[in-house]
Amino acid sequence: MSEPVRSTPGSLPLSRLAEPLLRRLSELLDRAAPGKGWRDLAQRAGSRGRVRLSPLDLEQCSLKVLEPEGSPSWSLLKLLGDRGCTVVELVEFLQALEHTEALQCLSHSGSLIGLPENKLRICIQPQPQNLMVGDALVLECGAVGNPIPHYQWFRNGFPLANGSKNVYMVTYADVEHQGTYWCHVFNDREDQDSKKIEVVIGRKAMAVECAEEDLSDLQKPADLQEQSNDRPVATDKVALLIGNMSYWNHPQLKAPMVDVYELTNLLRQLDFKVVSLLDLTESEMRNAVDEFLLLLDKGVYGLLYYAGHGYENYGNSFMVPVDAPNPYRSANCLCVQNILKLMQEKETGLNVFLLDMCRKRNEYDDTILILDALKVTANIVFGYATCQGAEAFEIQQSGLANGIFMKFLKDRLLEDKKITVLLDEVAEDMGKCHLTKGKQALEIRSSLSEKRALTDPIQQTVSSAESLARNLQWAKAHELPESRYLEFKCGVQIQLGFAAEFSNVMIIYTRIVKKPPEIVVCRAYVTDFALDLDVDPKEANKGTPEETGSYLVSKDLPKHCLYTRLSSLQKLREHLIFTVCLHYEYPGIEDTMDERKEVNVGKPLIAKLGLHHGFKNNNCLQTCCMANNPFHNQIESSPVATKYYVPSHCQPNSCPGIYHPNHICSDSIRQLEACSCNGTSRILASRHEVQNYSPPVEKSNVPVETTDDTVELEFLLSDNLRFSKQQ
């Protein structure tokens, strides 16, 4: 009789875990930050292959929010357990999501005892690839361990700039991407290399049969034959992203901050030059658009995304600056169609507008703009977050928020598909969302006749004057001050570092790197900032980034520092000059000693472009306004086809856990009711304008860049090659 096989706790199915532990994990996943929630766990588990999750499965999990004590995460964990998912697999998924709390919960419960001393172990090895030019290259490496492992991909012995995640992806592979790949996995205690695999990329061979009378078609010039088979290319790809939240005279918004952050990271993966800006006044918005237009040229792909308050009158859409009066009119806002006309004059290869705003009628604005006719081009794509006359919503949960449009767009933006096809699929995804059925539906307007995609490769003219000018202009908006060390007379050495959250938001972090042993107490902080930046001393020099309002920045910054957040860098008129103050004490001496050093870091990030100046060339103001004119719809007169996407069910949603916006007279405040679903407040709020509103003050930001290495700062390769984070 054979002895029964004993399984370690790590290999047990999730269904065998104690119910209190599953409940605790569910709570952590339900209230997790974006990128670490139950849907992200489901996506990670579904990509494994063995655990199949259908859209119906996810819909059933999502509907649990309608039950008094329902939990989507609880439903998902039970589903994974029923399908054989093990504890060790769950650990892999949570580590890939960097969900530290959930991992600690499992560790403290003893569920990871089966993993030998929590040692670093590679569970998923990368697999060889044999691809054709144009295919997507996707390599995955999975590891478990305590502390959480980090990753660095290599090709032919060299570290890859964008290879610091467990999945390495190239959306459009070319012959230059073939070679020998492996992944170096490491934490503070140990490191391992995955197995080395070969990636082979060849060109597609085409066999052609034709009749004798068709041979004449083969006499075309060779370059024309190749052009008919090749995908479109861009001479460059640039994007301007604006998120307005902190309105002076109108309701505050939350989602634009997260939406702009997530779209920035996605577009950079597609090789877009991105300028991302938060909370711009009218003059700053107009000047930002003018700077964006300077980046455009023949064949360039231009993308403009706006999230904030907005409205639509007579077919023209208007973006509302943060300083717009109450009530506002077209003269206080930016007309989208006029910007499109200016973009067309640059002979761009593709113009994409993504407008995440309401499109309700502005009853205070009777002005009709008479614009010059748009050119007949085949390169215009509008993605409206909502239909004409309707509102756009944002979901607020766990202190953060996503707009409904971006919530679904971000899941598909990296797909290698024609942009209109991609937006079609986003529209279908939105139509299935039970929160907004009958309230918000994506509308697409397009004149695109070519198979243009955001993933199209860039084929620049080598060393052209236009290309050099674009790169210089873009680089200006992304220059951070270099990290520096300050030596004080007492022997203390302080490091100053700088990180960019957005193109106009920067964090300064300070830490003491050397202190003489005779000094017992030592503290350094920054102060005396220009009044333009409006730095609140109560939110400066904090022990964690979250205390400054930067809730998602911790993982990208060095630890054990003091952090200060500087926003509205576009308002900076002179060099950024501030003071570093050092307080220290000697043993036996009651008096505190002080030293001060003034620091000048020039004009960081967007401050170099001088957006605070008055209107530079008034491109956006060149319109003729006529009040009470007959109806004029510029878009309908342009060669742009219109599609409307309406959810299949148009009944108002009755979920008690969301806001129900009831539109009333616009000179009254909208009454909203909120309810807590299973202890977590989920709010569906409108971005529609509300008059006579006194906005609360809220600040929050998300990082994208830093001048210092963070995780990589501690990682020194065996051949003493130090690599830094891709900016």
Rg (CA), the chain: 27
Distance (Å, whole) CA 383 – CA 204? 34
Question: Who has greater pLDDT, 201 or 64?
Answer: 201
Which tens digits make up the pLDDT trace of 593-649? 999 999 999 999 988 887 876 654 444 443 333 333 322 333 333 334 433 333 333
75 pLDDT band (50/70/90 cuts)?
Answer: confident
Task: Check whether 175 has a pLDDT greater than 80.
Answer: yes
577-593 residue pLDDT tens: 999 999 999 988 888 89
For the segment 150-162, the average pLDDT, to the nearest whole number, is: 88
More confident residue, 436 or 299: 299
Mean pLDDT value across residues 444-457: 90
Instruction: Name residue 181's beta-bridge partners.
Output: 155, 197
Which pLDDT belongs to residue 490? 92
pLDDT tier for residue 323 given thresholds of 50, 70 and 90: very high
Low-confidence winner among 98-102, 467-471, 532-536 (lowest mean pLDDT): 467-471
First to last CA, the chain: 62
CATH number of 121-204: 2.60.40.10
Query: Looking at residue 10, what DSSP letter applies?
Result: G
**Nearest CA among 69, 41, 68 for reference residue 57:** 41
Rounded to an integer, what distance in angstroms lies between the CA atom of residue 580 and that of residue 529? 11
| pLDDT band, residue 283 (cuts 50/70/90) | very high
Residue 671 buriedness (CB in 10 A; 0-12 / 13-18 / 19+) = exposed
Least confident span in 35-44, 461-470, 685-694: 685-694
For residues 364 and 675, what is the distance between their CA atoms, to the nearest angstrom?
33
Listed in sequence order, the residues at least 6 apart from 632 whose beta carbon sits closer than 8 Å to its beta carbon are: 314, 315, 368, 369, 370
What are the residues whose beta carbons fall under 8 Å from the beta carbon of 277, sequence distance 6 or more?
240, 241, 242, 243, 260, 284, 288, 502, 503, 504, 570, 606
Average pLDDT over residues 702-706: 37
Mean pLDDT of all residues in the chain?
A: 75
Give me the residues paired with residue 380 across strands.
Answer: 351
Q: For the domain 484-603, what is the CATH code?
A: 2.60.40.3360
How far CA 418 is from CA of 229, 381, 413, 421, in Å, comes to 16, 11, 11, 5
Which helix (H) or strand (E) segment holds residue 677: the answer is strand 676-677
The band of 188, judged by pLDDT with boundaries at 50, 70 and 90, is: confident
Give yes or no for residue 466 having a pLDDT over 50: yes
Nearest-angstrom CA–CA distance, 324 and 313: 17
Contact of 560 with 539, CB cutoff 8 Å: no
For residue 504, give the nearest of 293, 726, 291 by alpha carbon. Answer: 291
Rounded to 5 degrees, φ, ψ at 166 are -75, -15
Read off the pLDDT of residues 480-490 as tens digits, 9 standing for 90 and up: 888 889 999 99
Q: Which of 352 and 555 is assigned the larger pLDDT? A: 352
Q: Are 140 and 124 in contact (CB under 8 A)?
A: yes
Distance (Å, whole) CA 380 – CA 639: 9
Burial status of residue 174 (CB atoms within 10 A of its CB: 0-12, 13-18, 19 or more) = middle
3-state secondary structure 89-107: HHHHHHHHCCCHHHHHHHH
Per domain, the residue ranges of the chain are 9-118, 121-204, 236-476+622-686, 484-603
User: Which segments of 659-716 does DSSP mark as H helices, in order?
Assistant: none
Rounded Cα distance, 591 and 572, in Å? 37
Give the model's confidence band at 20: pLDDT under 50 very low, under 70 low, under 90 confident, else very high: confident
Arch. (CATH architecture) of 9-118: Orthogonal Bundle (1.10)
Residue 299 reports pLDDT greater than 60: yes
- pTM for this entry: 0.58
365-416 pLDDT per residue, tens: 877 766 666 666 768 898 888 887 777 787 766 566 778 888 899 999 999 9
pLDDT tens per residue, range 388-402: 777 778 776 656 677
Does this chain's domain 9-118 share its CATH topology with 484-603?
A: no
Q: Residue 668: helix, strand or coil by DSSP? A: coil
Give all strands of the β-sheet with 400-403 in edge-to-edge order. Answer: 400-403, 393-397, 680-686, 676-677
Instruction: Indicate the angle between helix axes 19-30 and 72-82, nearest 10 degrees.
Output: 130
Lowest mean per-residue pLDDT among 88-102, 432-446, 688-702: 688-702
Structure tokens at 53: 């999750």
Return the CATH class of domain 236-476+622-686: alpha beta
More confident site: 243 or 47: 243
Q: What is the mean pLDDT of residues 162-184?
A: 87
What are φ and ψ of residue 425, in 5° steps?
-70, -35
Is the pLDDT reported for residue 251 higher than 70? yes
The amino acid occupying position 96 is A
pLDDT at residue 137 tops 60: yes
* Residues annotated as part of the active site: 309, 358
- Does the structure show a pLDDT above 80 at 362? yes
pLDDT tens-digit series, residues 524-563 = 999 999 888 878 888 899 988 888 887 766 677 888 899 9
Per-residue model confidence (pLDDT) at position 334: 93
**How far apart (Å, rounded) are the C-alpha atoms in residues 716 and 535?**
37
Cβ neighbours for 719, distance < 8 A, ≥ 6 positions apart: none
Judged against a pLDDT cut of 60, whether residue 6 lies above it is answered with no
Residue 134 is predicted with a pLDDT of 83
How far is it, in rounded angstroms, from Cα 149 to Cα 185? 6
